[in-house]
């Protein structure tokens, strides 16, 4: 959509009207402006667009001028000289760092996209080079650009156009280099091939899975539409421009990193209502856009027609027509097929109220898979969220998961209570904290009381939705009902943030933490222990999201604040531990070690009060030593940690046992297999007693034991243990099919080591079947049963069968993993072995040779696989 | 300068009464003074690439108020006038600067005519002038506010004082004016 300068003429032509509405709109808070303009302009789209474009500019311009007089201008237009054309001025043949421009692909408001190739001819594949327009190259934008680039580069997924490189042009404009996708927009691709309903849904699932993948990495797409989803000749859907909208939106950086859409970047036909209103954009906005895409894909029509929809199409629109009533007769999807479940799914996805939609792209994908498998879908009306509000005071029941969350928060509040006792204020403070804790608990219990246990077709899924929605509601209630209780409000918001974080919902967690810290800053509690703790939490989330520099800045701030406070000693240690983790993530291992040694020293000096924290710090210290290969010291630190836990909590306490599991992992890595096995054997019964036999920590320890036994050459012990793991994973309620498949695969490999070929084959086939149900075709895990079956075929002397299986595995792995990865190398090696078995030695030799080289170079490759390939090599040349 | 005092007082009065042409005549009269002051500033700021119009206006006020004291209703009154005058001074400088730059390619022009530090802002000054010419056709008051803020280097409070309206009202109009100005300065770009 073109929102900007084409409205200029209208602005000047209809000045009086435009300016009057613009002036009034500015009196509203930002979030309410679009609604106002929309209402006022009615059907007058021209007027609406003009005012909207002015508002977008008003919001994009810096609030405070950077200086008096002529300096005012700098803040508005960056370093750009007035009158200079926004054209980035690159022509075919020009060279930008390592790339040579070969053509122009498109020109947008924020960037121009060129086709380019490597100028140094390292490879000749064409890439898309996106150069940001001038005027965005302030220091702040460049810094953000750098941060975001790191996140985007972590989005390695077969259905996401990858970010390959980036840099700065000679005249200082940032640019990104992205995979150039040759393909057709998803909708026209599907229509041109007359795809049926199932095929269309399959195509869409590729997109939804890619979006879910990105959401787990904190990247919101914001602009999902057919032209951003291309399908290549192999039928693979590839998403373009992930997170770019945020990356290039200069408004963003000034808003505390909260995700707010720059309204001027919207594509109105696909924008969610909250985006159009300029409100916070979350992963759920992507869910809406996925819905709009699916709607178009299934019906051939946009959910909201471009004509006549007017202003409502942008900000305040309601629900679309049910897709079964909208389906275009030229699309090869039958109206009747959409009626029922698909109508329900799509309408839920496109609910105007964000909290009524699926909680995640994954939940949407799951429901479509349920539909495809003929199982009942989770989307039901009225939704759980609806009932949360409707029965908010009625039902005294609350589900197990919700109760768990309350306990987690209560526990956290309890910790706060202890930490917050300052010597001089001990009694007052303790009473105050206890009161706060009580209020928070009451508040949350009240909240979860709302959940309705009935009508939940999929307990696991709907419980999760309940919790998320209840948390959103809780944050909202904290803001309104505790408006005059800032301390309590801040604590509650950060408690809710903690739960979000535990649920891996980092964006909302960060937003709430920022809000909590701001509340405290405003009320002079900037140096409180709670504030320090929230700084640490924020840093830890950022660090896990890979934003190490930002995380480090926050940790250092916490460290400085804690050092300035005589009662802040434990926080000094905490901040040092936080810094240690950041250093470790940044591979600065010596720095990490130094901080952890210092933290341990401080915690030791605190005596009995810091013992629990000391034990955790020792685990971290052990990790640092291990990474530096100082294994004796690592073991000593880990053992001391275990001993402290044992004294504090007893031998059977899960904390003690999990510390032992850590020690076991260390011993496993050191090759002290007997020791590791012994530790795991002790840990498992304790975990069974405290956490239960089906708890994932228990099962994982058992699984680790099986792998240790296998490494130690105790094949029958390993098989026995794998069987236990498999049996337990099958029994986990609402079980994880993928975990069951992994166990089947492990068992197949172990059975194969004992040359029980028939049995191994049927286990591998079952594993493959389960992977196939849960994973999209081409997922790397689907290659592992194929590799096992290759080995089985080789042992049977079936060269042709082995070749076929190995080539299938290779094709999958080559698509997603680098050739140097040991799994890919093994696939190549086994393909070679299969060829050799058929006497095609000349074809076999290069595959085995290259595979072996990659395996020998890999640090991760299990010795067994290297040895196997070496034997294949020897067999070639007796 | 002293000769003109009487006429300045009269012109200020006429300008205050809203008489056509009084402002032009006034600017013409004090133009040389302003130019001297501006020139002095520009020459002493050679290491600084930024033109501080605020300082210019304040210094002009100190110098001229001493001479024409009593002619101005208020400090704000003078500031408003001074902003207009400074706009012309700066525009003249910018034009000459550009002409000199073009000329330099063919013939040498004495450098003292063209103070150096101005360089990067010459284009901006002319562009803003042009933008204001367009803005004034739609909203005269908004254009005056921009003139005060931009050429006079006045703060929002000083602008309010100069135009004898509330600060809040200036804030509101300024919020829009900067958007229009920004748009007038960036013509022809396109967004998708």
- Overall average pLDDT of the A5-12 stretch: 67
Chain B residues with CB-CB distance to A107 below 8 A? 190, 192
Cross-chain Cβ contact B182/A22 below 8 Å: no
Residue A798 has pLDDT above 90, yes or no: yes
How far apart CA A588 and CA B122 sit, in angstroms, is 49
pLDDT of residue A208: 94
Residue B106 is predicted with a pLDDT of: 38
Judge contact between A364 and A358, C-beta under 8 A: yes
CA distance A387 to A402: 15
pLDDT exceeds 50 at position A1 = no
Give yes or no for a cis peptide into A382 (omega within 30° of 0): yes
**pLDDT confidence tier of residue A15, bands split at 50, 70 and 90:** confident
Angstroms from B46 CA to nearest CA on chain A: 16
Query: What's the pLDDT score for residue A737?
Result: 79
| B153 neighbourhood in chain A, CB within 8 Å | 68-69
Enumerate the residues of chain B whose CB falls inside 8 A of the CB of residue A4: 189-191
CB contact under 8 A, A81 and B175: no
Query: Residue A826 pLDDT > 70, yes or no?
Result: yes
Lowest mean pLDDT among A78-92, A326-340, A770-784: A78-92
> What pLDDT does A454 receive?
35
Task: Give the residue, B111 or A210, on which the prediction is more confident.
Answer: A210
**Segment of A246-250, A771-775, A848-852, B142-146 carrying the highest mean pLDDT:** A848-852
Under the banding of pLDDT at 50, 70 and 90, the label for residue A781 is confident
Nearest-by-CA chain B residue for A20? B176
Nearest-CA neighbor of A459 among A399, A522, A419?
A399
Across A313-317, A363-367, B179-183, the highest mean pLDDT is recorded for A363-367
Most A CBs within 10 A among B142, B179, B188, hence the mutation to make, goes to B179
Rounded to 5 degrees, φ, ψ at A743 are: -65, -45
Q: Nearest chain A Cα to B172, which residue?
A: A23
Task: Give the best residue of A28, A61, A68 to mutate against chain B (max B CB count within 10 A).
Answer: A68
Residues of A near B (CB-CB distance < 8 A)?
Answer: 1-6, 8, 11-12, 15, 19, 22-23, 26-27, 54, 57-58, 61, 67-73, 76-77, 81-83, 85-86, 107-110, 133, 264-265
Residue B149 at interface with chain A, using a CB cutoff of 8 Å: yes
Q: Going by C-beta distance under 8 Å and a sequence separation of 6 or more, which residues neighbour residue A765? A: A785, A789
Q: What is the mean pLDDT of residues A730-742?
A: 79
Determine contact, residues B41/B63, Cβ cutoff 8 Å.
Answer: no
Taking CA atoms, what residue in B is nearest to A106? B192
Which whole number is the average pLDDT over A213-219? Answer: 76
B74 inside 8 A of chain A by CB? no
Q: How far apart are CA A472 and CA A490, in angstroms?
A: 15
- Of the ranges A32-41, A424-433, A854-863, which one carries the lowest mean pLDDT score? A424-433
Q: Tell if the CB–CB gap between B185 and A82 is shorter than 8 Å.
A: yes
Which residues of A are catalytic, by number? 223
For residue A106, the SS3 value is strand
- What is the model's pLDDT at position A706? 92
Q: Which two tokens stand for residue A124?
A: 């000749």
A15: chain B residues, CB-CB within 8 Å: 138-139
Cα–Cα dist B44/B173, whole Å? 35
Would you call A71 and B50 a contact, using CB atoms and an 8 Å cutoff? yes
CB distance from B120 to chain A under 8 Å? yes
Model confidence at A825, in pLDDT bands (50, 70, 90)? Answer: very high
Going from the C-alpha of A620 to that of each of A394, A535, A554, A594, A710, the distances in angstroms are 47, 20, 20, 12, 28
Please name which of A201, A519, A219 lies closest in space to residue A346, comparing C-alpha atoms: A201
Q: Are residues A11 and B183, on separate chains, in Cβ contact within 8 Å?
A: yes
> Which residue numbers in chain B have pLDDT < 70?
1-8, 18, 20, 29-75, 93, 97-124, 186-192
Q: Does ipTM surpass 0.90 in this model?
A: no
**Band of residue A256 on the pLDDT scale cut at 50, 70, 90:** very low
Higher pLDDT residue, B7 or A189? A189
pLDDT at A243: 56
pLDDT digits (tens, 9 = 90+) for A664-691: 988 888 889 999 999 999 999 988 887 7
Share of chain A above pLDDT 90, in %: 22
d(CA A92, CA A172): 19
Task: Judge whether residue A535 has pLDDT over 70.
Answer: yes
Best CA proximity match to A709, nearest among A698, A717, A700:
A717
What is the DSSP code string of A811-832? HHHHHHS-TTSHHHHHHHHHHH
What percent of chain A has pLDDT above 70? 73
Q: How far is CA A22 from the centre of its chain?
A: 39
| Between residues A137 and A327, the one the model is more confident about | A327
Choose between A618 and A170: higher pLDDT. A618
What is Dmax (Cα atoms) for chain B? 60
Q: Is the pLDDT of residue A307 over 60?
A: no
Name the minimum distance, in Å, from the CA of B177 to any CA of chain A.
10
**In this predicted model, what pLDDT tens digit does every residue of A482-532 receive, in sequence order?**
777 777 788 878 877 877 776 667 788 888 898 888 888 887 777 777 888
The nearest CA of chain A is from the CA of B184 a distance in Å of 9
- Across the A/B interface, how many CB contacts are shorter than 8 Å? 113
Q: Which of A61, A108, A109 shows the shortest C-beta gap to B179?
A: A61
Contact B127 A83 (CB under 8 A): yes
Of all residues in chain A, the one with the smallest CA distance to B179 is A58
Distance (Å) from the C-alpha of residue A73 to the closest C-alpha of chain B? 8
CB A133 within 8 A of CB B191: no
Task: Check A58 against B123: CB less than 8 A apart.
Answer: no
At residue A444, the pLDDT reads: 53
Cα A576 from Cα A599, distance rounded (Å): 6
Helix and strand element counts for chain B (H, E):
8, 0
For residue A40, the model assigns a pLDDT of: 85
**pLDDT over 50 (residue A405):** no
Cβ–Cβ of B138/A19 closer than 8 Å? yes
Helix axes A486-502, A426-448, angle to 10 degrees: 60
- The per-residue DSSP string of A32-68 comes to HHHHHHHHHHTT-HHHHHHHHHHHHHHHHS-SS-SSS
How many CB atoms sit inside 10 A of residue A569's CB?
17
Strand partners, A104: A114
Q: Does the CB of B189 have a partner CB in chain A at under 8 Å?
A: yes
Residue A196 DSSP code: -
Q: Cα–Cα distance between A188 and A194 in angstroms, integer?
A: 10
Residue A692 pLDDT greater than 50, yes or no:
yes
Nearest one of A217, A192, A216 to A203, comparing CA atoms: A192
Q: Is the pTM of this model over 0.80?
A: no
Pairing between β-strand A111-118 and β-strand A127-132 as defined by DSSP bridges: antiparallel
In whole angstroms, give the CA distance from residue B10 to residue A140: 52
- Reported as a single tens digit per residue, the pLDDT across A113-153 is 888 888 776 666 788 888 776 544 455 555 656 666 766 67
In which band, very low, low, confident or very high, does the pLDDT at A843 lie, cut at 50, 70 and 90? very high
Subunit contact A70:B138, Cβ cutoff 8 A: no
B52 contacts in chain A (CB < 8 Å): 68-69
B111 to chain A, any CB pair closer than 8 A? The answer is no
């Amino acid at each position: 959509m073109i929102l900007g300068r084409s409205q200029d003429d209208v602005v000047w032509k209809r000045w009086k009207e435009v300016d009057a509405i613009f002036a009034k709109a500015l009196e509203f808070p930002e979030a309410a402006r679009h609604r106002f303009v929309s209402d006022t302009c009615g059907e007058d789209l021209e007027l609406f667009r003009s005012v909207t474009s002015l508002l977008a500019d008003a919001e994009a311009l810096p609030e405070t001028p950077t200086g008096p007089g002529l300096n005012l201008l700098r803040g508005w237009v960056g370093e750009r000289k007035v009158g200079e054309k926004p054209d980035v001025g690159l022509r075919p043949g020009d060279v930008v760092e390592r790339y040579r421009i070969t053509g122009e692909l498109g020109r947008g408001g924020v960037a121009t996209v060129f086709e380019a190739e490597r100028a140094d001819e390292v490879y000749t594949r064409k890439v898309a080079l996106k150069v940001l327009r001038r005027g965005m190259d302030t220091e702040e934008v460049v810094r953000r650009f750098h941060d975001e680039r790191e996140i985007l580069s972590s989005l390695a997924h077969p259905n996401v156009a990858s970010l390959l490189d980036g840099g700065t042009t000679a005249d200082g404009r940032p640019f990104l280099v992205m995979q150039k996708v040759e393909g057709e927009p998803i909708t026209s691709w599907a229509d041109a091939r007359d795809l049926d309903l199932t095929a269309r849904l399959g195509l869409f699932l590729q997109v939804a899975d890619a979006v879910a993948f990105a959401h787990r990495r904190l990247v919101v797409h914001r602009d999902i539409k057919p032209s951003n989803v291309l399908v290549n000749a192999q039928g693979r859907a590839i998403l373009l421009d992930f997170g770019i909208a945020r990356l290039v939106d200069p408004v963003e950086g000034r808003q505390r990193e909260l995700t707010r859409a720059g309204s001027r970047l919207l594509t109105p036909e696909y924008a969610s209502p909250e985006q159009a209103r300029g409100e916070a954009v979350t992963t759920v906005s992507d869910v809406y856009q996925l819905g709009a895409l699916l709607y178009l894909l299934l019906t051939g029509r946009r959910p909201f027609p471009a004509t006549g929809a007017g202003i409502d199409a942008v900000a305040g629109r309601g629900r679309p027509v049910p897709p079964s009533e909208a389906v275009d007769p030229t699309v090869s999807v039958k109206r009747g097929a959409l009626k029922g479940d698909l109508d329900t799914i799509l309408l839920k996805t496109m609910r105007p109220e964000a909290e009524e939609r699926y909680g995640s792209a994954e939940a949407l994908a799951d429901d479509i898979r349920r539909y495809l498998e003929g199982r009942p879908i989770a989307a039901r009306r009225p939704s759980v969220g609806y009932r949360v509000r409707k029965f908010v005071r009625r039902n005294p029941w609350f589900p197990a998961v919700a109760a768990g969350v309350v306990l987690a928060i209560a526990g956290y509040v309890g910790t706060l209570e202890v930490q917050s006792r300052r010597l001089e204020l001990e009694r007052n403070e303790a009473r105050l904290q206890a009161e706060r804790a009580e209020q928070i608990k009451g508040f949350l219990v009240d909240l979860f009381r709302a959940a309705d246990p009935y009508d939940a077709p999929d307990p696991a899924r709907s419980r999760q939705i309940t919790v998320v929605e209840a948390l959103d509601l809780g944050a909202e209630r904290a803001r309104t009902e505790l408006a005059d209780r800032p301390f309590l409000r801040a604590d509650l918001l950060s408690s809710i943030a903690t739960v979000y974080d535990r649920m891996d919902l980092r964006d909302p967690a960060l937003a709430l933490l920022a809000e909590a810290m701001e509340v405290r800053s405003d009320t002079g509690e900037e140096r409180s222990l709670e504030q320090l703790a929230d700084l640490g939490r924020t840093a830890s989330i950022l660090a896990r999201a890979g934003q190490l520099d930002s995380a480090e800045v926050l940790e250092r701030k916490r460290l400085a604040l804690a050092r300035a406070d005589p009662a802040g000693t434990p926080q000094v240690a905490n901040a040092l531990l936080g810094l240690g983790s950041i250093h470790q993530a940044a591979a600065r291992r010596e720095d990490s070690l130094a901080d952890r040694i210092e933290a341990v020293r401080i915690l030791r000096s605190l005596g009995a009060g810091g013992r629990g924290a000391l034990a955790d710090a020792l685990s971290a210290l052990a990790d640092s030593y291990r990474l530096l290969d100082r294994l004796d010291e690592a073991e000593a630190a880990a053992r001391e940690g275990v001993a402290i836990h044992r004294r504090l909590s007893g031998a059977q306490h899960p904390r003690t046992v999990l510390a032992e599991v850590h020690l076991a992992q260390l011993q496993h890595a050191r090759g002290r297999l007997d020791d590791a096995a012994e530790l795991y054997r002790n840990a498992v019964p304790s975990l069974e007693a405290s956490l239960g036999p089906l708890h994932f920590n228990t099962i994982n320890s058992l699984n680790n034991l099986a792998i240790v036994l296998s490494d130690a050459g105790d094949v029958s012990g390993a098989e026995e243990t794998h069987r236990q793991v498999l049996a337990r994973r099958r029994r986990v309620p609402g079980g994880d099919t993928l975990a069951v498949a992994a166990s089947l695969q492990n068992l197949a490999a172990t059975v194969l080591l004992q040359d029980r070929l028939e049995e191994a084959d049927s286990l591998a086939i079952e594993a493959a079947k389960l992977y196939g149900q849960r994973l999209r075709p081409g997922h790397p895990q689907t290659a592992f049963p194929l590799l096992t079956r290759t080995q089985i075929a080789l042992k049977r002397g079936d060269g042709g069968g082995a070749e076929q299986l190995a080539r299938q595995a290779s094709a999958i792995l080559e698509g997603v993993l680098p050739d140097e990865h040991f799994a890919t190398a093994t696939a190549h090696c086994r393909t070679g072995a299969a060829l050799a078995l058929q006497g095609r030695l000349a074809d076999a030799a290069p595959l085995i040779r290259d595979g072996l080289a990659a395996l020998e170079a890999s640090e991760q490759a299990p010795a067994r696989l290297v040895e196997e390939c070496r034997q294949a090599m020897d067999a070639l040349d007796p | 300068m002293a000769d003109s005092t009487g006429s300045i007082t009269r012109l200020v009065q006429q300008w205050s009464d809203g008489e056509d042409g009084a402002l032009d005549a006034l600017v013409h009269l004090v133009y040389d003074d302003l130019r001297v002051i501006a020139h002095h500033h520009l020459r002493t700021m050679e290491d600084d690439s930024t033109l501080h119009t605020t300082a210019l206006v304040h210094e002009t006020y100190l110098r001229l108020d001493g001479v024409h004291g009593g002619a101005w209703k208020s400090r704000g009154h003078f500031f408003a006038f001074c902003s207009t005058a400074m706009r012309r001074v700066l525009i003249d400088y910018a034009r000459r600067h550009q002409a000199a730059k073009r000329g330099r390619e063919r013939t040498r022009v004495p450098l003292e005519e063209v103070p150096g530090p101005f360089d990067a802002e010459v284009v901006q000054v002319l562009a803003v002038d042009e933008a204001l010419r367009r803005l004034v056709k739609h909203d005269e008051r908004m254009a005056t506010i921009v003139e005060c803020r931009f050429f006079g280097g006045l703060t929002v409070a000083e602008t309010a004082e100069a135009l004898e309206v509330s600060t809040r009202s200036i804030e509101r109009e300024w919020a829009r004016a900067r958007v229009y100005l920004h748009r007038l300065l960036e013509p022809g770009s396109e967004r998708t």
